[in-house]
Amino acid sequence: MPQVTFKVWRGNKDAGEFKDYQTDITEGMVVLDAVHQIQAENAPDLACRWNCKAGKCGSCSAEVNGNPKLMCMTRMEDLPTDQPVTIEPMQAFPLIRDLVCDVSWNYEVKKKIKPFKPRKPDNADGTWNMVQEDVDRVQEFRKCIECFLCQDVCHVLRDHHKHEEFIGPRFFIHNAQLEMHPLDTEDRLGDLKDENGLGYCNITKCCTKVCPEHITITDNAIIPLKERIVDEYYDPIKKLFKMFKPKK
Amino acid sequence: MREFKTHEYDVLVIGAGGAGLRAAIEAAGSGVSCGLICKSLLGKAHTVMAEGGMAAALANVDDRDGWSTHFADTMRGGQYLNNWRMAELHAKEAPDRVNELEAWGAVMDRTKDGKILQRNFGGHKYPRLAHVGDRTGLEMIRTLQDHGIHQGIDVHMEVTIIDLLKDGDRVVGAFAYEREHGRFVLYKAKAIVMATGGIGRAFKITSNSWEYTGDGHSLAYNAGADLVDMEFIQFHPTGMVWPPSVRGILVTEGVRGEGGILTNSEGRRFMFDDIPDAYTSSTSDNEEEGWRYVTGDKSARRPPELLTRDHVARCIVREVKEGRGSPHGGVFLDIAWIKEHIKDAEAHIKKKLPSMYHQFKELAGLDITKEPMEIGPTTHYVMGGIKVDSDTQMSTIPGLFAAGECAAGLHGANRLGGNSLSDLVVFGKRAGEYASKYAKENSAGSVNNDQVQQIAAWAEAPFDRGDKAENPFTIQSDLQVMMQDKVGIVRDEKELGEALEALEGFKARAEHAAADVNRDFNPGWHTALDLRCLLTVSEASARSALARNESRGAHTRIDHPDKSDEEAKVNNVVRKGPDGQMQLERVPIPPIREDLAQIIEENK
């Protein structure tokens, strides 16, 4: 493959622009390789995050030709190279510099979610029994690598900036894996309804589409959580029972 | 005088992978204040890359297993250079640490009766690796992270430590910069735990990320600590070799644990051709028996693909060298072949090795359920590191502790797969416990402000290199090529000597490594500063490799192809001499406790 032009976002929170860089593309290269090459050849101060380079750590999230992607898993062969390839940072978070944004909000959100609280151990040695069928769904959610691409693409965060009232798909997944964990005894439905803004999600499934781990975020996590909330808080018969239940 | 922020803790943990997180959880839980330094974002450390599993003699799959067998396997795998007390503690405590992860929310794969499932791995006599498909490291780090954030630990993300500070003999703090704006930060601490991982970025072909520049090794060395066993660098036999941009990315040993076989260009399973003496009684000599082993037949012996990593890597190098390699300079690793034996092989492979399936599908355009992979050795892990007390994990510097990959002792000359994740939590916990104890027993030391100002000036220097400025990426890349060539899988005296000479040149070049623009999240600047650590660990490895005149475990000398009885009695230790030069000392291995020697004998 020949030289390819990249339009890379350069700048900080105050100002920035796309800058053009040319670099040689060889067989099998991914976008992150191109960014590293540009860094080494032309722009040593070009800021970008990365770690594993194998789709396992979720550090190198960015928007390639407008699509939220892990740069390490986006092959140059899959992109049209007769026109410039644009690379820009995620849009749902404040920019730090170039391709790096401030994702600290995500860490604060997670801290507020009630942690795992297991039931008493099943066995005398302090262990539990769980069968594989009961953990398959939870394991799907636990594949999440926290790349935050689902957060980036979610219009509630990206366009409406509801960061104060809405925790985003990543943390619905996190809630779902806790709520569906066979050992967990905590109840997070009230928080999901009142504090975490689950109701804002109108199931456009954008998050599911961009997930590099192919987690079916909407169908397997968000919709079941919404159903549980309906069952818990809006089921008329249950409501009736609740009225007569002695207060704890 | 430069201004900078100061934080003060009882215990400061440097590094936030499995060992660092576990140490921080332990320290915070014991009632001391604890700060945790992440070089990257929390949850992104290299532990996330671990695939195959975590070794612990839970005996859930094979009830013949127990701590003594695990101990004997670890010692045999390490060719008896291990710190035997650490191997004992590790084997005894690993099961509790695995169960503890489950209590904190980890969801590992299950046996039919609902227990934690365990899989086969190289060098482990019984199926011993607790796992989640092939993403066990992610499960570990996320579990520790999600538990840790509720323990009152102060987490500092994207902070790089550039020097340790001492008051007399003991360590009292660390000096750092934060990536976002390049501002300096001072951390005062009564005790420090190093948990910075490995040194893989010193080599060209590596499974390690940019972070793996030997920071903990180098910081401890420069503060006067001993490093031990630095010649032992594990080249994992199976890294990707094609396409070029993914060369070195890890392919889990779990592929072989699930029945994957290694073949050469002639289609021959070459691992049957060379089975080391120590393993002949436990290794099958035919394909049929090997298959029975991976499918759980307790009377069968393991296939030769599950020999230890050092040996498998050497066999692959031999095949390639003798012209029987794959088109891109590796050999073939085939898991698709199991369809000859099981009906729903495709679904089985995707379930057991999901991330390998995706990795090859997405990065190499190859379907591992249908075609063999091309693989070759990749720099993976350093057995050597900071010399620590086996029980407390304290280094030779009072107040400085170490755990995980940057500490040494457990693995000897070669680490068994799966013994790393268990190492992290067993000794992470111990380091946190004893660091906290040390902090309670000692008052805060005092930090020398002149020293701090000097370090700051050193860190700012890359912005002011003048005419001789050199691109730090070029220096790093040249260093990686040199180390790969001369201190790689196969070594000899001449090349190691050349490496040491070349390193002097690199030290001079590093003085000119330049940065530009400003200190805001500037990778060029970070790379320039990381060079110092890379050069320290490169020299430590080359010197130790030159001193070991034999081939043992991961250390292969073509000029000394055999094991030597004399060399079997010593560990190589390097430390900074009074003249600032690196000194090497050959330290006798203390005689093993009688009961442990007995266990080794019984398991031979």
The interface predicted TM-score (ipTM) is: 0.96
Residue A248 above 80 pLDDT?
no
Q: Which residues of B touch A29 (CB under 8 A)?
A: 243, 245
Neighbours of B501 (CB within 10 A): 11
In this prediction the pTM is 0.96
Beta carbons of B413 and B525 less than 8 angstroms apart:
no
| CATH for A138 | 1.10.1060.10
For residues B44 and B560, give the distance between their C-alpha atoms in angstroms, rounded to a whole number. 40
**pLDDT digit string (tens) for A197-226?**
999 999 999 999 999 999 999 999 999 999
DSSP conformation letters of A7-73: EEEEEBSS-EEEEEEEEE--TT-BHHHHHHHHHHHT-TT-----S-SSSSS---EEEETTEEEEGGG
| CATH for A51 | 3.10.20.30
Are A75 and B362 a contacting pair at CB < 8 A? yes
Quick check: is B512 catalytic? no
Reading the block at residue A241, the tokens are 């029972």
Instruction: Please check whether residues B68 and B22 belong to one and the same domain.
Output: yes
Instruction: Please check whether residues A85 and A116 belong to one and the same domain.
Output: no
CB under 8 Å to B518, separation ≥6 — which residues?
A45, B182
CB under 8 Å to B419, separation ≥6 — which residues?
B55, B74, B77, B90, B410, B411
CB–CB contacts below 8 A, A to B? 173
Instruction: Assess if residue B516 is contained within a domain.
Output: yes
Instruction: Please check whether residues A53 and A127 belong to one and the same domain.
Output: no
In Å, how far is A63's CA from the nearest CA of chain B? 18
Q: Given B156, B256, B292, B302, which residue is catalytic? A: B256
Instruction: Please check whether residues B125 and B256 belong to one and the same domain.
Output: no
| CATH for B371 | 3.90.700.10
**pLDDT digit string (tens) for B481-504?**
999 999 999 999 999 999 999 999
Substitution target from A45, A128, A171 for chain B, most B beta carbons within 10 A: A45
Instruction: Please check whether residues B326 and B364 belong to one and the same domain.
Output: yes
Comparing C-alpha atoms, which of A185, A182, A157 is closest to residue A169?
A: A157
Supply the pLDDT for residue A238: 79
Instruction: Please check whether residues B374 and B437 belong to one and the same domain.
Output: no
Q: Domain tally for chain A?
A: 2
Q: Domain tally for chain B?
A: 3
Supply the pLDDT for residue B291: 95
Instruction: Please check whether residues A80 and A148 belong to one and the same domain.
Output: no
- On the 0-12 / 13-18 / 19+ scale of CB atoms within 10 A, B61 is buried
Instruction: Please check whether residues B69 and B185 belong to one and the same domain.
Output: yes
Instruction: Please check whether residues B31 and B169 belong to one and the same domain.
Output: yes
Supply the pLDDT for residue A2: 83
Its domain, for residue B529, covers 449-565
pLDDT bracket for residue A237 (50, 70, 90)? confident
Residue A247 above 80 pLDDT?
no
Q: Which residues of A touch B150 (CB under 8 A)?
A: 111, 115
Instruction: Please check whether residues B50 and B163 belong to one and the same domain.
Output: yes
Residue spans of chain B under pLDDT 70: none
**pLDDT digit string (tens) for A88-136?**
999 999 999 999 999 999 999 999 999 999 999 999 999 999 999 999 9
Instruction: Assess if residue A43 is contained within a domain.
Output: yes
Instruction: Please check whether residues B230 and B89 belong to one and the same domain.
Output: yes
Its domain, for residue A172, covers 104-240
Quick check: is B256 catalytic? yes
For residues B464 and B461, give the distance between their C-alpha atoms in angstroms, rounded to a whole number. 5
Supply the pLDDT for residue B604: 87
In Å, how far is B271's CA from the nearest CA of chain A? 28
In Å, how far is B48's CA from the nearest CA of chain A? 6
Average pLDDT over residues A38-47: 96
Q: Which residues of B touch A177 (CB under 8 A)?
A: 107
Instruction: Please check whether residues A58 and A112 belong to one and the same domain.
Output: no
Which member of B99, B246, B516 has the closest CB to residue A127? B99
Instruction: Assess if residue A246 is contained within a domain.
Output: no
Are A110 and B515 a contacting pair at CB < 8 A? no
Instruction: Please check whether residues B408 and B486 belong to one and the same domain.
Output: no
Q: Which residues of A touch B116 (CB under 8 A)?
A: 127
Cis peptide before B561 (omega within 30 of 0): no
